[in-house]
Amino acid sequence: MDNKELAERLREIAGKDYVLTSDMDRMLYSYDASLEKAIPDVVVLPNSTEEVSKIMSLAYREKIPILGRGSGTNLTGGSIPVKGGIVVHFSRMNRILEIDIPNRTATVEPGVITLDLQTEVLKKGFIYQPDPASQKVSTIGGNIAENSGGPHCLKYGVTSNHILGLEVVLNDGTVIWTGGKSRDNPGYDLAGLFVGSEGTLGLVTKAILKLERAPETIKTMLAIYETIEDGANTVSAIIAEGIVPATLEMMDNPVMRAVEETIKVGYPLDAAAVLIIELDGMPEGMDEKAQKIMEICKQNNVREVKLAKDDAERDLLWAGRKGAFGAVGQVRPSYLCCDGTVPRTKLPEVLNKVMDISKKYDVPIGNVFHAGDGNLHPLIMFDERNKDELKRVLKASTDILKACVDVGGTISGEHGVGLEKLKETSFIFCENDIEFERHIKKAFDPDDFINPGKMIPEPVCEQ
Amino acid sequence: MAQFTETVEKLVSIVGKEHVKTEPDDLATHAVDNLKPKAVVFPKDTQQVSKVVELASRENLAIVPRGSGSKMSMGNPPKRLDLVVCTSRMNHMIDVDTSNLTITVEAGVKFRDIQARLATEEDRCYLPLGDLTSQADEAICSDRSHSGCFLPIDPPFSDIATIGGIIATNSTGPRRLLYNLPRDMILGVRLVAPSGLIAGAGGKTVKNVSGYDTSKLMAGSLGTLGIMCEMTFRLLPLPEKMATLLLSFESFSDASKVAKQIFDTTLLPAAVEVMNGATFTAMNIKDAPGFEPGEYVVVVAFEAFQEAVDRMRSEIKKMGLDLGAKSDASLDDASHQRFWLAVSELEGMLARKFSGLVCAKLNYRISEWEDVYNFCQKVLSDSKIDYSLQAHAGSGICLLRLLIAESDGETTEAAARALEKMLQKSVEAGGNLVIQRAPASAKGKLRMWGELSPDFIVMRRLKEQLDTSGIMSPGRFVGGL
Amino acid sequence: MNIVQLRKLSYDEVAKCNKCGFCLPSCPTYLVMKEEAYSPRGRNAITRFAIENKLKLSEDTERSIFSCLGCGACTAVCLSSVKTKDIIFQNRECEVDEGFYPKIIDRLVRTLEGSRNISDDDNEDRAEWLELIKDFPEDAFEKEHAEILFFVGCVASFFPMVQRIPANMAKILQNAGVDFTILGGDEWCCGFPLIGAGMPEKLEQMKEHNLKKVADVGAKTVVFTCPSCYHTWKHFYKTDVRLMHASQLIAELIKDKRLTLKKEVNLTATYHDPCDLGRNSGVFEEPREVVKAVPGLNFVELPQNRMLSVCCGGGGNVEMTDPDLTAQVAQMKLDSIKDVGAQMVVTACQQCVRTMQTRAKRTKSDLVVKDLTDLVVEAME
């Protein structure tokens, strides 16, 4: 089937306005937030499960690569149509279908923006926990594909802990529901498998999400340290005290400097790290715990620690962290955000290695990280147009991931493997592990046409 | 049989002579639903499991994995059975990293040993160590140089169950309300696939999107996709304060109102159980001498900071008294722990008392729990079967135990009819009914896994793809997988 | 402008776009059209592809580049603060030079060059709105010299639906005893539509003429009811004369007690930040001070306000080139106003008033749409 006929068939399914074929339109679906690019043959914007099912059947019969896309914020090339074919853009399927408070669930289409859902449920006093940094733009479908995390993961877990059921279009166009509003449905945990599968097993067309009560109180503290070790030790000491904060966010000196240069929140330029600690839950005992945490900070040589008295002060404490990426963006035109994750206690060790890597490849690196769950986000700053610099950046990124794996961590905490980290999967997996994954993939997609070329590296040639 | 003798020799060469059992007595005690294996194997580590499974795969031998055997009565009888692979020798704690709040253990490690290992030097532990039926394994639990944490899973048989068995069955309990399910706690797994190949996935970080989340696929798969050999979990610091509130009521509507009111607040109890009087009485609780159980008992667990526990307990107690609770009692710390240990051991205790015991788990949309509960009461009193009924009120789960002293044709028929009605009710309420225990003789008449759901087609594809020759626990799982 | 020039002018800026996509939900046209081509990130990608010779300008790129409302919300949420609106307007110059632009713009240019206003009417009719003010002699507001020059703008001068706005302003100034004048037929279009049309070079003669007139009148202050005129003067006219938006002047008059608002308006009202007044010129608080000075009024904020205000749909010449898109954006705006329970929306821009009022009428909504000057006059009388 040539592309013209393919487009014609897709128009019959989705309507003529919702099939994009011009050079320009196809190029506009050749990128995501990563450095990868590949141009699809056609883009389709379905409006219903039924349409998605028909599109999938067509792709199945014709063995055309197919790939779902939300807002295209993926950082590892997960939404790049590396083998061409059809891009299914879910922007029109963005309805919140139901918020069911008695059953503590929300049912949504995959194109719903995460923050939009959170805003809606908060009006009823509930929250949907996963809060990836991109929540203002990323979609639930994308969050499911990547098993997105966010600052709250230490206490509340990742996306997969909050997905109860999925409506999925399988490879041949069959539509199934797995899981649902009721918990513990017998059989394999397919929803658990779909979450984090990077869109390689099927297309999710509806999701049932778990809602929880919004916490009554939030307490926010900000601590400034002379060394990263002191900050990291504080984190461990807090947890050893039996307190699990909702958030433990840290920034290092290069990022603090960038923040001071742009938005000026009053960080001392000679400090090594700033730590934001947030407690949430019932107010009882919270003041005592906050006091205890401040004591722990002092025991760990904190230079200064502040407790926000009200929402305005809380916003002030967060301003630097929230503006961190942007501040770094002002330093150089591009930045690559790595996503290595390590056991929390290994953070100081790995951060030192990151600094060595920065020197080795002569690229500035700033660190913003979720200290509670050991998820690093080293930001390598560069100019994508400088090819030599780009090469050094990619090497630095690989070295950072290797450093993470060497201390018992992994290559991706929340961004996925996608295209960019296929090579690095060899750091954590042996051929047997990957073979098992290939079997799982085959059970869903024996023809390898659903988001092909992602996540699982091709078999190594035997000679 | 000559052929199997050769197989036994090969097994012996893998695990050693004393770790392959073929005596009739051994085979009988390891029978699954009265089906005797040809041999029972006790590998010592993942490598040996791999070799055993590889051999089984080559010779097309059907395997059922086994931990302590506490849940062997789950599922359909296996279609065939050659080897029972016991994980009991695989009881090493590979990595206890309390400062990172993770633990990596082998499948045969007992749940209570994990909790004992995570206890403080002063024996502050999630389980009441002194009240367990057997001593924790000191050899693997001695190092307690840390501040105390626990594995937040609340399974039945917490005294004897192995972690492998708990995960393979995704066993849960009342406190799932606060801590969620085992599948939410597992971070990584190393398993032996049905081909014998050793495969790993996940790791020891909470966040991990590197490859498929195989741990979730394996959790609850009842040994049909391979044998989980090593697992990594996330841990939590021990709660500062643990307490339980008991409230007794004469009417279900009052008891259920309390539960409902709790869910309308922002309070975060660890469990809210509504049980019938028979359930409470069966547990034989000695720590609340003045408490008078009525027709219904509402039990609320609190595991939080001291101040938060105090507030929750007093607010909920007031709700209960306002609704006319006829009696109430508070259990603190050790007595709280003993109470929930009794809940965990209830099924085992009843099984010893009632040889015809049938246990079922109903799931349904949370909001329909009262309706389902009422329906069950009606069906069961109509069918004149004694029963214990225990709802995890905020989780949409109800545990039902039919207290049948001795199974015969007539009682089995009656039980099957009642269960069928309740199954339909659960299905209408968006869920299902799974029978978790029944005498082997009765299983033919019961739908052990309830109704098949539409996603079964995918489950079958997965099973066929991963277990091509169908040697892993054949037939025991959903839809005869 | 050609691609080489565009490269020189915009490449460094557009290269700052990391394609993170954070701008997508801030862009009204993306929210309506739901295609990448209607997103700020998509438009930046087009510019970059064009600069890198990977994509030729075409009717397709025209469709994307000319659908931008110029509201600037994308830059407000951008982590790297990429000046996407500026890049798009520069790209428009390229598109125009290659012949890819909505042909209706030709008519606009002819009209502007012919009659010196955006409507086809005789520029001498600029002060037609004076007929709405019954109590004063016809030429009372056209003086030779005055402290303050009130620059009326084309839309309010010629579109009957909003002619009441300059009339309101005149009444307010009169009431407060301000010495002011208007230019009448000597006022020329400020040139704003030409920037959005990708022909900024044609703005020069408008600017020269208008600046000369200010000098003739000897005004020390120019006041605008139109945020886009205000924004154009502020950013493209180089003058030392004090430039004020009406809302700022009114707020000042209230503060100085030269103007008192006595009459109660018992409604729940919200305020819509016009893009060229708020985000693009930084005037947020004065209009709110004025609204809150009205007795009886219950003020509520829209969830997205000030820097994050969502465009009404009337910006960037889109109302002229794609009225349907404008209508859909306006509908989104009205929905968000309804969501906060407001019975009335107050804004400070004749274009926002037109866009929202038109949409409200078409959908038979009972939402009251008012310009700030409407509200002030009502509370003043």
Closest CA to A415 of A351, A309, A346, A336: A336
Give the tens place of pLDDT for each residue, A237-259: 998 888 999 999 999 999 999 88
Structure token pair of residue B364: 């349904």
Q: Provide the number of CB pairs (under 8 Å) joining chain A to chain B.
A: 272
Task: Provide the total of helices (H) and of strands (E) in chain C, helices listed first.
Answer: 18, 8
Integer distance in angstroms from the first to the last C-alpha of chain B?
A: 27
Interface test with B, best of A122, A129, A182, A293 (most B CBs within 10 A): A182
Q: What's the rounded mean pLDDT across residues B134-152?
A: 79
Q: Is A97 helix (H, G, I), strand (E, B) or coil?
A: strand
Secondary structure of A152-199 as H, E, C letters: CHHHHCCHHHHEEEEEEECCCCCEEEEECCCCCCCCCCHHHHHCCCCC
Q: Using CB atoms, which residue from C21, C25, C37 is nearest to A72?
A: C21
Are A55 and A116 members of one domain?
A: no
For chain B, list the domains and their CATH numbers.
2-86 (3.30.43.10), 93-237 (3.30.465.10), 241-343 (3.30.70.2190), 354-443 (3.30.70.1130)
Q: Would the pLDDT of A274 be above 90?
A: yes
Are A385 and A340 members of one domain?
A: yes
Query: Of the ranges A337-341, B86-90, B226-230, which one carries the lowest mean pLDDT score?
Result: A337-341
Which segments of C109-210 are extended strands (E)?
148-151, 180-181
Give the tens place of pLDDT for each residue, A377-433: 999 999 989 999 999 999 999 999 999 999 999 999 889 999 999 999 999 999 999
Residue A456 covered by a domain? no
Confidence class for position B144, pLDDT limits 50, 70, 90: confident
Burial of B325 (0-12, 13-18, 19+ CB in 10 A): buried
Are A323 and A342 members of one domain?
A: no
Q: What is the pLDDT along chain C (381 residues), one digit of tens a residue?
A: 899 999 999 999 999 998 999 999 999 999 999 999 999 999 999 999 999 999 999 999 999 999 999 999 999 999 888 999 999 999 999 999 999 999 999 999 999 999 999 988 899 999 889 888 877 666 677 888 999 999 999 999 999 999 999 999 999 999 999 999 999 999 999 999 999 899 999 999 999 999 999 999 999 999 999 999 999 999 999 899 999 999 999 999 999 999 999 999 999 999 999 999 999 999 999 999 999 999 999 999 999 999 999 999 999 999 999 999 999 999 999 999 999 999 999 999 999 999 999 999 999 999 999 999 999 999 997
Number of neighbours of residue A240 by Cβ within 10 angstroms = 17
Q: What's the rounded mean pLDDT across residues A281-290?
A: 92
Q: Using CB atoms, which residue from A89, A113, A326 is nearest to C79?
A: A326
Position with higher pLDDT, A155 vs B247: B247
Q: Least CA distance to A324: which residue of chain C?
A: C79
Task: Provide the total of helices (H) and of strands (E) in chain B, helices listed first.
Answer: 17, 19
Q: Would the pLDDT of B250 be above 50?
A: yes
Residue C110's DSSP bridge partners are none
Are A78 and A128 members of one domain?
A: no
DSSP state of C198: T
Query: Residues C247, C348: contact at Cβ < 8 Å?
Result: yes
Q: Would the pLDDT of B399 be above 50?
A: yes
Query: Residues A427, B222: contact at Cβ < 8 Å?
Result: no
Residue A448 covered by a domain? no
Query: Residues C57, C50: contact at Cβ < 8 Å?
Result: yes
Q: Indicate the helix (H) or strand (E) that contains A276.
A: strand A273-281
- In this prediction, residue A463 carries a pLDDT of 39
Q: Any residues with CB less than 8 A from the CB of A227 and at least 6 apart, and which?
A: A272, A273, A301
Are A298 and A343 members of one domain?
A: no
Q: CA of C286 to nearest chain A CA: how many angstroms apart? A: 22
Are A133 and A201 members of one domain?
A: yes
Between β-strands C242-245 and C268-271, what pairing exists: parallel, antiparallel or unpaired? unpaired
Domain containing residue A284: CATH number? 3.30.70.3450
Q: Using CB atoms, which residue from A28, A91, A335 is nearest to C18?
A: A335
Q: What's the rounded mean pLDDT across residues B15-22?
A: 97
Q: Half-sphere exposure of residue A297, counting CA atoms within 13 Å on the CB side?
A: 24
Q: Is B117 helix (H, G, I), strand (E, B) or coil?
A: helix
Residue A447 covered by a domain? no
- In this prediction, residue A462 carries a pLDDT of 45
Tell me if chain C has a CB within 8 Å of the CB of A326. Answer: yes
Q: Any residues with CB less than 8 A from the CB of A44 and at least 6 apart, and which?
A: A10, A13, A14, A18, A19, A20, A55, A86, A87, A88, A89
Domain containing residue A7: CATH number? 3.30.43.10
Q: What's the rounded mean pLDDT across residues B113-128?
A: 92
Are A221 and A191 members of one domain?
A: no
Domain containing residue A161: CATH number? 3.30.465.10
Query: Residues B317, B255: contact at Cβ < 8 Å?
Result: no
Rounded Cα gap, residues B380 and B392, in angstroms: 19
Confidence class for position B140, pLDDT limits 50, 70, 90: confident
Rounded Cα gap, residues B108 and B86, in angstroms: 8
Rounded Cα gap, residues B145 and C362, in angstroms: 74
Rounded Cα gap, residues B90 and B50, in angstroms: 13
For chain C, list the domains and their CATH numbers.
3-97 (1.10.1060.10), 104-254 (3.40.50), 261-380 (3.40.50.1860)
In this prediction the ipTM stands at 0.96
Structure token pair of residue B134: 């057997």
Are A220 and A124 members of one domain?
A: no
Give the residue numbers spanning the domain of A245.
215-327
Q: Provide the number of CB pairs (under 8 Å) joining chain A to chain C.
A: 96
Q: Would the pLDDT of B401 be above 90?
A: yes
Are the Cβ atoms of A215 and B97 closer than 8 angstroms? Answer: no
Interface test with C, best of A28, A79, A337, A415 (most C CBs within 10 A): A28
Closest CA to A454 of A421, A413, A410: A421
Structure token pair of residue C338: 């309804």
Are A245 and A198 members of one domain?
A: no
Closest CA to A449 of A181, A99, A201: A201
Query: Of A29, A64, A91, at which residue does a domain stop?
Result: A91
| Owner of token pair 């009444």 | C171
Domain containing residue A379: CATH number? 3.30.70.2740
Q: Any residues with CB less than 8 A from the CB of B231 and at least 6 apart, and which?
A: B104, B105, B107, B163, B164, B167, B186, B188, B189, B190, B215
Structure token pair of residue A79: 């939404």
Residue A455 covered by a domain? no
- In this prediction, residue B409 carries a pLDDT of 85
Are the Cβ atoms of A28 and C42 closer than 8 angstroms? Answer: yes
The answer for A 373-412 residues in CB contact with C (under 8 A) is: 383-385
Q: Which residues of C touch A333 (CB under 8 A)?
A: 12, 15-16, 80
pTM for the complete prediction? 0.95
Are A126 and A194 members of one domain?
A: yes
Domain count, chain A: 4
Interface test with A, best of B210, B453, B469 (most A CBs within 10 A): B210
Interface test with A, best of C7, C17, C24, C87 (most A CBs within 10 A): C24
Q: Half-sphere exposure of residue B296, counting CA atoms within 13 Å on the CB side?
A: 25
Tell me if chain A has a CB within 8 Å of the CB of C31. Answer: no
Q: Would the pLDDT of B318 be above 70?
A: yes
Region of residue C262 (phi > 0: left; psi between -120 and 50: alpha; otherwise: beta): alpha
Q: Do chains C and B touch (3 or more CB pairs under 8 A)?
A: no
Give the tens place of pLDDT for each residue, A58-72: 999 999 999 999 999
Query: Of the ranges A45-54, A129-138, C228-237, which one carries the lowest mean pLDDT score?
Result: A129-138
Query: Of A213, A235, A265, at which residue does a domain stop?
Result: A213
Q: Using CB atoms, which residue from B208, B304, B430 is nearest to A341?
A: B208
Query: Residues C268, C187: contact at Cβ < 8 Å?
Result: no
Query: Residues A160, A196: contact at Cβ < 8 Å?
Result: yes
Residue A138 covered by a domain? yes
Q: Any residues with CB less than 8 A from the CB of B150 and at least 6 apart, and which?
A: B115, B118, B125, B126, B235, B236, B238
Are A201 and A222 members of one domain?
A: no
Query: Residues C352, C274: contact at Cβ < 8 Å?
Result: yes
Position with higher pLDDT, A236 vs B76: B76
Confidence class for position B2, pLDDT limits 50, 70, 90: low
Give the tens place of pLDDT for each residue, B435-479: 999 999 999 999 999 999 999 999 999 999 999 999 999 999 999
CA distances B254 to A380, B297, B394, Å, are 61, 10, 16
Are A76 and A33 members of one domain?
A: yes
Query: Of A276, A300, A327, at which residue does a domain stop?
Result: A327
